[in-house]
Amino acid sequence: MPLTPPPHSSIRTGDLIVLRNSREHTEGYIIATLPGGQYKVKWVTGLGYRDRITTVTADEIRKKTEQEGVHDG
């Protein structure tokens, strides 16, 4: 039986990501990939997140697309 990649497997260390379902535009960089579909993120924008490091699940984030451009926070 062929193995299927886990969901969100395209998210890697160094990727710029966006927090889903946030009241404001919150983005950060993946600084570590953890077991169980979790990631350590260094946030660069967002009032309650900027300059913080948190652990999030793959369902809480999405990879920022090139079409979104760069956001200065």
Q: pLDDT for 42-61, tens place per residue?
A: 999 999 999 999 999 999 99
Split at pLDDT 50, 70, 90, the class of 10 is: confident
The residues pairing with 62 across neighbouring beta strands, listed in sequence order, are 18
More confident residue, 66 or 38: 38
Span 20-46, average pLDDT: 95
- DSSP letter for 5, please: P
CA distance 56 to 19: 9
Distance (Å) of CA 50 to CA 8, 10, 33: 23, 24, 20
Residue spans per domain, the chain:
16-60
- Whether 73 shows a pLDDT value over 60: the answer reads no
The residues pairing with 18 across neighbouring beta strands, listed in sequence order, are 27, 62
Query: Looking at the whole model, is its pTM more than 0.85?
Result: no
